Amino acid sequence: MADDIRMQNPRRVRNLGVIVGTLPTGPLNAITDVPGVRVGQTTLTGDGLNTGVTAIVPDGYAGTLPAAVAVGNGYGKLIGTTQVDELGVIETPILLTGTLSTFRVADALLTWLLDRDPRATSLNPIVGETNDAYLSDIRRRPITPAHVHAALDTASSDLPLEGCAGAGTGTTALGFKAGIGTSSRLVASGTVGAIVQSNFSGLLTVLGRPVPAKPLDADGNSCMIVVATDLPLDARQLGRLARRAVFAMGRVGSDFAPGSGDYAIAFTTNRTPGYADNDLRGPFQAVTESFEEALLNSLTMARTTTGHRGTAHAVPHDLLA
């Protein structure tokens, strides 16, 4: 069975016949279906390392975009949240990485931003993380400015790499190898997309059915979710969307462990608020469906990986089909 899993080709969960929800997806079924949102990634493997950087780069970030953060459990290192809470905006790209590289990534992001704006005297870099210490020698803090700048410079509107890519290279979730996953949904007046760095414990649940797995002896128990939309929402409404993304972790089997840093950041590329609260049912459904499918993609697109302290096996596709 282990050899069969190693030979298994990564496939998105929809291609395995697992259809999450009822709303239609965007053309790529990815966060990059939201107009003006790009993703770039840098991946490090070998010599005891399985880690990287994932950059979510929305057009117009320098002019500040409405945003909000939801904290499911604050056992994490999410840089830049207090200013987002205070002002209701982001003013930089959002980067994801491994726990002990968070601060180096934030400094490298700051350098990248200052190089592009010689007049800037205050910037609020936003960097999130999950702990990839099971498969990567996290104490080496291997991420350099070159890795960060490469992820930012190569950001595109294409379908992002999923599974063992970027910040998800060394992550595990729900007993299996996990990583980066993404998905999107269309609603009447726009698009909602999500990208996830999955690295948390619990019992994998697919469309309400549990998929038992032997628990991994892994330190990582966190989840970073980024939600993007082009709907005309204000910061308060985006906070409501972000909270739904955290709630949706329960749909895939999270046990919300006390050592888990579970965060969602939601932003819109539309600076003209005008959405009625009574109309949020569609966006709420879109964010829960897109997160759930993104998380499953992070698993089914991952490959069995042997790293610093052990091996994390990919989820057998035949258990899901």
What does 93-155 look like in DSSP terms, one character per residue? -EEEEEGGGHHHHHHHHHHHHHHH-TT------EEEEE--TTTS-GGG----HHHHHHHHHT-
Q: How far apart are CA 243 and CA 263, in angstroms?
A: 9
198 burial class (0-12, 13-18, 19+ CB within 10 angstroms)? buried
Q: How far apart are CA 164 and CA 176, in angstroms?
A: 12
Contacts of 9 (CB under 8 A, 6+ apart): none
Give rounded-to-5 percent helix, strand, coil for the chain: 30, 30, 40
Chain segment 22-78, per-residue pLDDT in tens: 999 999 999 999 999 999 999 999 999 999 999 999 999 988 999 999 999 999 999
Contacts of 53 (CB under 8 A, 6+ apart): 41, 42, 95, 96, 97, 105, 143, 147, 148, 151, 166, 167
- Report, at the CATH architecture level, how domain 16-303 is classified: 4-Layer Sandwich (3.60)
Do 225 and 291 touch, CB atoms closer than 8 A?
Answer: yes
Q: How many residues does the chain have?
A: 321
Which helix H or strand E contains 201, and what residues bound it? none
Q: How far apart are CA 233 and CA 254, in angstroms?
A: 28
Contacts of 175 (CB under 8 A, 6+ apart): 201, 203, 204, 212, 213, 214, 215, 216
pTM: 0.96
Identify whether 262 is a catalytic site residue: yes
Domain ranges for the chain, please list them. 16-303
3-state SS, residue 224 = strand
For residue 304, give both structure tokens: 């069995």
Q: Which of 33, 132, 230, 262 is catalytic?
A: 262
What local confidence, expressed as pLDDT, does residue 262 receive? Answer: 97
Q: Which of 222, 254, 290, 298 is catalytic?
A: 222
Chain segment 102-115, per-residue pLDDT in tens: 999 999 999 999 99
What local confidence, expressed as pLDDT, does residue 320 receive? Answer: 86
What residues of the chain score a pLDDT lower than 50?
Answer: none
Which helix H or strand E contains 35, and what residues bound it? none
For residue 151, give both structure tokens: 């992820």
CA 170 to chain centre: 14
Q: How far apart are CA 70 and CA 50, in angstroms?
A: 28
DSSP character for 188?
A: T
- Of the candidates 55, 41, 57, 119, the residue with the CA atom closest to the CA atom of residue 91: 57
- Of the candidates 214, 50, 54, the residue with the CA atom closest to the CA atom of residue 134: 50
What local confidence, expressed as pLDDT, does residue 4 receive? Answer: 61
Q: Which of 157, 201, 260, 298 is catalytic?
A: 260
Q: What angle do CA 237, 180, 102 make, to 5 degrees?
A: 80
DSSP character for 16?
A: G
Q: How far apart are CA 47 and CA 241, in angstroms?
A: 40
% of residues, the chain, pLDDT over 70:
96
Do 30 and 196 touch, CB atoms closer than 8 A?
Answer: no
